[in-house]
Structure 1
Amino acid sequence: MKKNVIQAVARRPRRTLAFAAVVSVAALTLAGCASSDSGTAGATESKTLTLVAAAAPTSINPALANADTVGSWYSQLTYDPLIRLAPDGTLQPDLATSWKFLDDQSKELELTLRTGVKFSDGTEMTSEAVADSINYIVTNGVNGKAWLGGADTKAEATGADTVVMHLATSNSTVPRFLTQRSLTGSVIAPTGLADPETLKNKTFGAGPYVLDTEHTVAGSSYVYIPNTNYWNPDNIHYGKVVIQVSGSNAASYQALAAGDADIMRGDLATATSAKAAGLTVKTTPASILGINFADRDGTVVPELADIRVRQALSYAIDRETIVKAAWGEDGLWGSSLTLPENAGFSKTVSDAYAYDPAKAKKLLADAGLANGFSFTIASVSTAPADAVTQAIVQNWADIGVKATIAFYSDASLLSTDALAKKFGVLTYYYGAGQTGGIMNDFLSGSPTQYNPFGSTDPAISEALAAAKTSADPDSQSAAYEKAMTVGIIDDAWVTNVAYAPSFVIMSDKVAGTDFGSALTAPDIAQLVKPAGN
């Protein structure tokens, strides 16, 4: 983390809230920790990389997979993206060697493809195959429409090694969505597209590994072996990669501490234990967590129609104390909707709602609510978001506002109820790798679970249109900052609380584990390798 960013979210000593969980688990014995499987040229044939994850994938089909830090692991090993996101946030060639917009509205993106690439089934990667894959992800993918320019986006093979994406709406940030971080740039072979049901239990990519279906147990252990048709065999560093599903961070840590695993994504508790044990822990801001005052017209909660009420609730949140309790010294607090060092982040927006309960009470009194009011807030029950929500509700109680929490263990059901406009206030816990996606979900006016009432503001719409049209990074960032200034400060639609960190714990057996706030976990498909190699 750069010094100026740390200063922007500087901490001061405060009381600490107790967020503790005690989990008792049996020791895991992970399969595949020593392997004699032979690999292709470039593989370290006797080496196995063992990853341990708390949860099984939602799908191994990259179009349907959850593109979070760990959920994407299951697809990244087998499906190379068109563009690769480097640890420092820059875009690098992969299956596409170059890309450019052909127009000044950022609606015609041309991709020049790498030649000589074969899919794992041995078939050639053609421009037609790439165009078909993009069109499948747009039409059927969980994020395809939102991230690749809209439902009417079409990809067309325009030459032997060129594809043009005709975006339904301007979107200068589409190249960032064609990376392994988002999975929407994964290229699926025609064999898989011909029978999409097979994508649920087999892999059809052009990545360094293939799923070993004989030794994989769905929901428990996923085994990957080298792709003998891979275009860049020198980047295959293991004879086998195993992702073991542990069921919890505590169980994952127990396996890693015992020497049965190499890499896991953890939390504050496991990271603290790992540091004490001398294991390597790396961290970066990876998600945003905060409060969405979705009902800006007061349809469900009449009091929210007054901007002073939304501002009061924002000033009442003791972000520093909450964040320190949830993530220790690795957590950062702030009001911005994007992560420090990402496009559109500004200190002004991040510091906009520094803790001020006296100001919060005055705003409520000015709004005629000196005696407070009550409402229900919907929230996921996932740790530590659940404890953060409870702490925020206590902050509101301190200024006379009573909020009752409706906890959801099923995130999809929460999304459904949010879109049905059942709640005026909701929490969010959002993996924030790309500012453009955040802006589309929270501020664009398109009805989403993050803007279920479809609120719009002409100033925001103008700023986002400018960001989507311009391919200049500085102009994009300025436009995003303007949109967030209006949405967060001028309109008080949403207030962020935390830039939640990603903790990655690893053994001394691995190298190439750098990552950052854009790529929020090590690149296991390309960069992670045995230490000393």
Structure 2
Amino acid sequence: MKTAVGLLAVGALLLSGCSAGSTPAPSDGEAASGGTLRIGQIGDVTSWDPAQAHVGHQLLPYQIVYDTLLLREPDGTLAPMLATAWEYDDTRTVLTLDLRTDVTFSDGEPFDADAVKTNLESFKAGNGRQAVQLTQFESATVVDEDTVEITLAEPDPAMEYYLSQAAGLMASPAAIEAGTLETSPVGTGPYEFDAGNSTRDSQATFTAREDYWNPELQKFDSVELRILDELSARVNAAVSGQVDYTTLDARSAQQALDTGLEIIPDYQVDWTGLTIFDREGALNPALADPRVRQAMNYAIDRETLLEELQLGYGTATSQVFGPESGAYLEDLEDYYPYDPDRARELLAEAGYADGFELTLPVISGFATQVTAMSQQLADVGITVVQESVAAPNYVADAVQSKFQAFNFNLFQGEAWVAINQIIAPTATFNPFGTTSPEPQELLDVVQAGGEDSEAAAQAVNEYVTENAWFVPLYRIDQIAVYDPEVLSVEAQVQQAIPSIYNFAPAS
């Protein structure tokens, strides 16, 4: 058996307790540890039940109390965690995991194959925000106390990745059965939830477990999540030293930098721009013509928008796959240079020389960006009608085929994960189920996960770019600041907030 090697805008609260910076300097060869890690968090966790867990900005809170079956290293490599080794059968539909035998949950319950089976079944039945991660999951079979077989309906090349994410979070089976996880998390993780020192929508506090099986991952004595939804509150908390780490935006970053805080460099996770849903013209016939969608791309001055909206924090691009995805192609970066004359030519060829009307939904977080794009589209004859939508309904209405297109920040990570988010006929953000024989053949190759998988993923990228399924603007620099005097932080590839294991007291 092979052994593997591998949060949008959102008052400050001054609380007692020592910070990471109060940790004594380590002796030579000894890693710094101890103190309290204080994170300015956008939004509280809605449910601590792993079956309802999210990723992106919202994965780190779960990692504080729950280990995953596999560990995703900062560079994306998968490594052992609760599973020590794993292997597929020849059909790539049965994944066998060997498990650690020295782990218990914080309630004293043992971690074993039965616990894995219970958690996977609970996650599947829970139909949570990341339910797509177990789309192919069919069953889990306990082979023995420390061995479990996961059977898939069809191969899923992202299954191992998912086991390092929401689907891999392991909770106590006793707590699952009791139905108490929503407010009282019980896991095998490095820290325990301190309910007595936590206040909903204000602060969540965690203390280090004395009997944690891997103390090397346990860098602090305690962790505090300060819930700071407003951007101004996060800025104030960062510059005043009330938090050690938090996320900001491009326009607030300089204020933080001026006080000696630092930004994790070269850290991009999402791309932003338009996802064109109605590619068959059910709501807007013009969008069925690829020349119209291509014209929309040529009409956009990406470099100018990047500078005006993001102050240059990002990379202009014409593709929706990032450099670490396996589907990225350098030649597609500037596939649609700013060329309004070419946009007008294509519109004329498609029978829309006088332009057409495009309706876009708008929420406050994207209003400025949609307005900027609308002005550039208007220059080539495309009139954008902006319709305000309640923020809680934005994604829900999108996936129910209510929009012609919408503007959003979307993940640009692992090829198969991104494909199942925005491209596959069953993808979350392909609500009209657009497909055709050519891309479907390529998707089948990617799903098989063989030696041709990466080339097929690149061909998928080429197809959706050439056929203009999207109007990407740029990949966004993830702007998170930290105090280097008290904290060391390592970026996590393709993840908006680094994993909890990537934080340590400054040496």
**3-state SS of paired residue (1:325):** helix
Partner of 1:488: 465
**Aligned mates of 1:82, 1:217 — CA distance in 2:** 30
Tell me which amino acid in the other structure corresponds to 1:235: L
Contact preservation (8 Å) 2:411, 2:494: no
In structure 2, the residue matched to 1:456 is 435
Residue aligning to 2:241: 259
How far did 1:141 drift?
4.1
Q: CA deviation at 1:212?
A: 0.4
Task: Deviation per CA, 1:414-460: give whole Å up to 9, x if none.
Answer: 23322332222222222334332220122111163x11111112121
- Among 487, 500, 503, the alignment partner of 1:528 is 503
Most deviating of 321-330 and 388-397: 321-330
2:38 to 50, 57, 79: 50
1:386 maps to which residue?
A: 367
User: Is contact 1:292–1:425 with CA below 8 Å preserved after alignment?
Assistant: yes
Instruction: Verify the 8 A CA contact 1:268 1:503 in the aligned structure 2.
Output: yes
Provide the residue aligned with 2:117 in structure 1: 131
Distance 1:157 1:288 in 2: 41
Amino acid at match of 2:80: P
Match of 1:90 among 58, 77, 88: 77
Q: 1:65 is aligned with what amino acid?
A: A
8 Å contact 2:130–2:166 — kept in the other structure? no
TM-score, structure 2 as length reference? 0.91
Q: Deviations over 1:182-214 (max 9, x none)?
A: 322101110121033x11111111100011011
Q: 1:500 aligns with which of 455, 469, 476?
A: 476
* Structure 1 residue 242 displacement after superposition: 0.5
Flag the 1:443–1:205 CA change in 2: closer, same or farther, 3 A.
Answer: same
Could you tell me which residue of structure 1 aligns to residue 396 of structure 2?
Answer: 416
- 1:129-278 equivalent positions in 2, closer than 5 A: 129-150=115-136, 153-179=138-164, 182-196=165-179, 198-278=180-260
* Cα distance change on mapping 1:31 and 1:346 into 2, 3 Å: farther
d(CA) in 1 for partners of 2:443, 2:380: 35
1:73-125 per-position Cα deviation (integer Å, ceiling 9, x unaligned): 22110001111111112111111111221124x22112111121111111110
Kindly state the Cα deviation for residue 175 of structure 1 after the two structures are TM-superposed: 0.8
Contact kept? 1:419, 1:447, Cα under 8 Å:
no
Counterpart of 2:405 in structure 1 is 425
State the secondary structure of the residue aligned to 1:116: coil
Cα separation, partners in 2 of 1:483 and 1:121, compared to 1, 3 Å: same
Q: CA RMSD in A?
A: 2.4
Task: Give the secondary structure class of the aligned counterpart of 1:200.
Answer: coil
Instruction: Give the match's secondary structure for 1:77.
Output: helix
Letter in structure 2 aligned against 1:249: L
The residue identity in structure 2 corresponding to 1:256 is A
Query: Structure 2: how far apart are the matches of 1:51 and 1:144?
Result: 24
The verdict on how the C-alpha distance between 1:183 and 1:367 changes in structure 2, with shifts beyond 3 A counting, is: same
Q: In the TM superposition, what is the alpha-carbon distance from 1:237 to its structure 2 partner?
A: 2.0
In structure 1, what is the Cα distance between the partners aligned to 2:49 and 2:248? 25
Letter in 2 for 1:260: Q
Q: Distance in 1 between matches of 2:411 and 2:368?
A: 18
Of residues 286-295 and 233-242 in structure 1, the stretch that sits farther from structure 2 once superposed is 233-242
Contact 1:463 1:483 in 2 (8 A): yes
Distance 1:237 1:356 in 2: 52
Q: Aligned letter for 1:373?
A: F
State the 1:292 CA deviation.
Answer: 1.8
> In 1, Cα distance between the equivalents of 2:357 and 2:407?
16
Cα distance between partner residues in 2 of 1:217 and 1:29: 14
Label 1:89 to 1:356 Cα distance change in 2 as closer, same or farther (>3 A): same
In structure 2, C-alpha distance between the alignment counterparts of 1:280 and 1:27, rounded to whole Å: 20
Percent sequence identity is 29
* 2-structure distance, mates of 1:510, 1:102: 47
Shift of 1:144: 4.7
Matched residue, 1:396 = 377
Query: What secondary structure does 1:204 align onto?
Result: coil
Task: Map 1:510-529 to 2 at 5 A.
Answer: 510-524=486-500, 526-529=501-504
CA-to-aligned-CA distance 1:294-325 (integer Å, 9 cap, x gap): 11221110111222111111111111111222
Change (3 A) 1:229 1:177: same
Unaligned runs of 5+ in 1: 1-20, 36-41
| Corresponding residue number in structure 1 for 2:269 | 286
Given that 2:60 and 2:498 are in contact with CA atoms closer than 8 Å, whether structure 1 keeps it comes out as no
Where 2:272 maps in the other structure, the secondary structure is: strand
What residue is the counterpart of 1:73 in the other structure? 60
1:471 deviates by: 4.9
Contact 1:44/1:239 (CA < 8 Å) preserved in 2?
no
Distance 1:53 1:144, change over 3 A: closer
Distance 1:339 1:379, change over 3 A: farther
The SS at the match of 2:295 is helix
Could you tell me which residue of structure 1 aligns to residue 449 of structure 2?
A: 470
Q: Could you tell me whether the CA contact under 8 Å between 1:82 and 1:186 is conserved in 2?
A: yes
Work out whether residues 364 and 370 of structure 1, in 8 Å CA contact, stay in contact via their aligned partners in 2: yes
1:309 to 285, 292, 304: 292
Aligned residues: 491
The aligned counterpart of 1:110 is: 96
Q: Which residue number corresponds to residue 3 of structure 2?
A: none
Identify if the C-alpha distance between structure 1 residues 443 and 81 changes in structure 2 by more than 3 Å, giving closer, same or farther: same
**Aligned-partner Cα distance in 2 for 1:399–1:47:** 58
Q: State the partner residue of 1:99.
A: 86
Give me the whole-angstrom Cα distance separating, in 2, the residues matched to 1:353 and 1:189.
Answer: 51
